[in-house]
Each structure stands twice: as structure tokens, then as C-alpha cells.
Amino acid sequence: MGQEWPRVLITTSKDPAEQSRTFAKLLRHVLPNTLLINRGNYSIAELHVKSMEELCDYVYMITSKEDRVNHLWIYKIYADKLQEEGPVLKFNQYIDHKIYGFASLPEHGPLSTSLITRSQSPELIDYFQQYWFLELGKKNPLWLAIDTAEHRRTTYVSLIDALTQRKFFYAELQLLDREQL
């Protein structure tokens, strides 16, 4: 019997940047058991109802600032509300699959990474394990690679197609406590 992944509804803030819509599609592709919906004019209460109808466990909301991806917020779904959960992923830079020459996204998730990667950024790897369903030490078709820049308190993350060994996503990220926003 296969892995039981939490069900995730992915959406954007209202009036998202094109880059946020592109990232939402990428996230839908690399995370197992996800549903992508166009936010439109859904209020938070209406998103809650929709997520309950779709039997989701989480809502992942991608926000925009100016013309780019800004944050990824995670909400746990309860019967009476959406509750903010975990740290917030801040995007300082984002490059998608089209820049790397992929007409479409390769393979489907889940992501995997080597056990050695954990020592480079334990907090971020914990985040990816919990919310992106990253598997340590497995040989899945999609790989996650990271590099840290301690002086800037940021981490560089790449997603790699294992079959072609080509990068199809790059981001400079910071993991922030909600109080830091």
C-alpha cells in the first residue's frame, strides 16, 4: 500500500502576479495529492468551505508583491476555521522551469534529497519534509538541492529532474517566523 499524503488545496492571493500563478502550478506538480484552484473572488471563509468540500487537510496560499512571488503561507483546516500553521516561506528570488528550457514540467513528485543535505539547513529541510512531503534518502524522479548563504540568512533551493539531471526551479528563500512579518 502506498504513502498516504495529506490533501492540499493550493491557491494564490487575490489578483496574483503571473509569477505566483506559475509557482502555484509548479507546486501542484511537485507535491503529491494536491488540488489547484483559481482564487478569483473567494474570501477566506469561502476558501475554508471549498477546502472542506474537497476533503483537504491544508490550504497553501501564495502571495504576490509587485510582479513576483512573495510568500507561501500554510493554513491547517479545522471544522470551524483555517488556522495559520508553521513558518512562512519568503521568496527573495524565483526562476521557473521555462527559463531552463523545459516546455512543461518534468515528472511528478514527491521530492527526495540525500541524507547529507539535512545538515546544510536542518530547519528548512524539516519544513520541506512536513509541508512539501520531501523524502530523505530515496531516489524519486524529482530531487531537491540546497545551498546556504549564512551571511544573508538565506538558502538557495533548486529542483532537479533526475532523469535529465537538469534544474527546473531555483529560488532564494528565507524561512520566517510569523512574528517576523
Using 50 as the pLDDT threshold, list the residues of the chain that sit under it. Answer: 1
Helices (H) and strands (E) in the chain, counts: 3, 11
H helical segments located in 35-121: 44-53
Q: pLDDT value at position 107?
A: 63
- Residue 120: which of 88, 155, 91 has the closest Cα? 155
- Residue 136 β-bridge partners: 113
Q: pLDDT value at position 152?
A: 66
Domains and CATH numbers, the chain: 8-180 (3.40.50.10480)
- Residue 10: which of 120, 94, 132, 105 has the closest Cα? 132
Q: pLDDT value at position 1?
A: 41
Q: How far apart are CA 154 and CA 60, in angstroms?
A: 21
Q: pLDDT value at position 164?
A: 82
Q: pLDDT value at position 154?
A: 83
Q: How far apart are CA 68 and CA 95, in angstroms?
A: 10
